[in-house]
């Protein structure tokens, strides 16, 4: 409806203009805060990457209602419209812009649970258990032995029988049914199981900081999904997310 390119695009975000780097191993774009050495992406896109090759997480190149309008005018007047659309992450104008009560992008916020649970959490797990094949985890402090993970997932699933229903859906065995996990399953895992599980795994001096990362993520998501959020909590969420990335 917003007529923006969306996830998977070179410039995928409707809130900011983060420019992605192409991961040659699997031909997808990813969006590092610090670009890897020698990254040369597409020269045209690198040139428009605002703020240089590295991003300041407390000051991303945000979009606002006025700049969004200006970008649409740019696309409409460009002779190389496809390039401009790609560089801005916008396909064109949206019919919703006729409604004066709507502002881009503030009127179309993200659902934090879906944003994080369908992407960040499964990818972190894959990195930990060595299933993210493009980046091997040998010797990394966050690496979790497959057998340990399998064992903990079996225990987690079995624990469902003793968990009150008010805590939400039953836990699935992630090591067996990762493909069947919907956002709510990942959310339940993140809110209620991730910290005790990783506290069991990350016990050495080297791996402890990995547990702290999970704590930051859990706290940020827990705060973000409340029905009413105080302004001071928004500051806290921002801080936790900035520390996390
Ligand atoms: Zn963004």
Same domain (yes/no): 230, 149: yes
The pLDDT of residue 212: 97
Same domain (yes/no): 124, 235: yes
The count of other CB atoms within 10 Å of the CB of residue 158 is 11
| Alpha carbon of 9 to ligand 1 centroid (Å) | 12
Please give the residue range of the domain that contains residue 42. Answer: 21-98
The three-state secondary structure class of 114 is: helix
Tell me: the pLDDT tens digits for 182-194? 999 999 999 999 9
Q: Is 46's pLDDT higher than 70?
A: no
| Alpha carbon of 31 to ligand 1 centroid (Å) | 10
The pLDDT of residue 168: 80
Tell me: the pLDDT tens digits for 61-71? 899 999 999 99
- From 98, 123, 153, give the residue that closes a domain: 98
| Alpha carbon of 151 to ligand 1 centroid (Å) | 37
The pLDDT of residue 38: 65
Q: Is 94's pLDDT higher than 80?
A: yes
The pLDDT of residue 61: 87
| Alpha carbon of 148 to ligand 1 centroid (Å) | 35
Query: Mean pLDDT over residues 164-174, rounded?
Result: 88
Q: Is 101's pLDDT higher than 70?
A: yes
Six token digits for residue 139: 């010797």
Query: Mean pLDDT over residues 200-211, rounded?
Result: 96
| Alpha carbon of 133 to ligand 1 centroid (Å) | 26
Q: Is 18's pLDDT higher than 80?
A: yes
- Name the most confidently modeled range: 34-38, 111-115, 124-128, 133-137: 124-128
The pLDDT of residue 44: 65
User: Which candidate, 92, 119, 122, places its Cα nearest to that of 30?
Assistant: 119
Tell me how far apart the alpha carbons of residues 133 and 126 are, in angstroms, rounded to a whole number.
9
Instruction: Identify whether 145 is part of a domain.
Output: yes
Tell me how far apart the alpha carbons of residues 21 and 33 are, in angstroms, rounded to a whole number.
10
Instruction: Identify whether 144 is part of a domain.
Output: yes
| Alpha carbon of 15 to ligand 1 centroid (Å) | 5
Same domain (yes/no): 166, 236: yes
Same domain (yes/no): 130, 234: yes
| Confidence category of residue 211, pLDDT binned at 50, 70, 90 | very high
- From 98, 124, 146, give the residue that closes a domain: 98
Six token digits for residue 219: 């706290």
User: Which candidate, 74, 19, 77, 88, places its Cα nearest to that of 52?
Assistant: 19
Positive or negative, the CA dihedral 123, 53, 236, 13 is negative
Q: Is 87's pLDDT higher than 90?
A: no
Cα–Cα separations (whole angstroms), residue 171 to 2, 165, 220: 35, 11, 21
Tally of residues, the chain: 245
| Alpha carbon of 149 to ligand 1 centroid (Å) | 32
The pLDDT of residue 47: 65
**Total structural domains within the chain:** 2
| Alpha carbon of 17 to ligand 1 centroid (Å) | 6
Same domain (yes/no): 162, 83: no
Cβ(73)–Cβ(59) under 8 Å? no
Q: Is 51's pLDDT higher than 80?
A: no
């Amino acid at each position: 409806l917003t007529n923006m390119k969306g996830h998977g695009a070179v410039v995928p975000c409707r809130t900011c203009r983060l420019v992605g780097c192409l991961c040659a191993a699997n031909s997808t774009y990813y969006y590092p805060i610090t670009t890897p050495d020698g990254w040369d992406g597409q020269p045209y896109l690198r040139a428009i990457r605002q703020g240089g090759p590295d991003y300041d997480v407390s000051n991303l190149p945000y979009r606002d209602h006025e700049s969004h309008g200006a970008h649409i005018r740019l696309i409409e007047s460009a002779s190389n419209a496809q390039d401009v659309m790609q560089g801005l992450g916008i396909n064109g104008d949206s019919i919703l812009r006729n409604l004066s009560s709507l502002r881009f992008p503030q009127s179309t916020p993200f659902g934090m649970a879906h944003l994080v649970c369908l992407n960040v959490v499964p990818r972190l797990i894959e990195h930990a258990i060595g299933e993210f094949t493009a980046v091997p985890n040998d010797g990394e402090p966050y690496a979790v032995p497959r057998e340990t993970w399998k064992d903990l997932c079996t225990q987690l699933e079995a624990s469902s029988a003793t968990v009150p229903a008010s805590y939400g859906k039953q836990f699935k065995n992630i090591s067996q049914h990762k493909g069947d996990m919907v956002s709510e399953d990942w959310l339940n895992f993140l809110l209620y199981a991730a910290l005790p599980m990783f506290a069991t795994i990350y016990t050495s001096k080297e791996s402890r900081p990995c547990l702290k990362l999970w704590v930051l993520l859990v706290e940020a998501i827990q705060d973000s999904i409340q029905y009413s959020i105080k302004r001071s909590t928004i500051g806290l969420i921002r801080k936790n997310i900035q520390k996390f990335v």
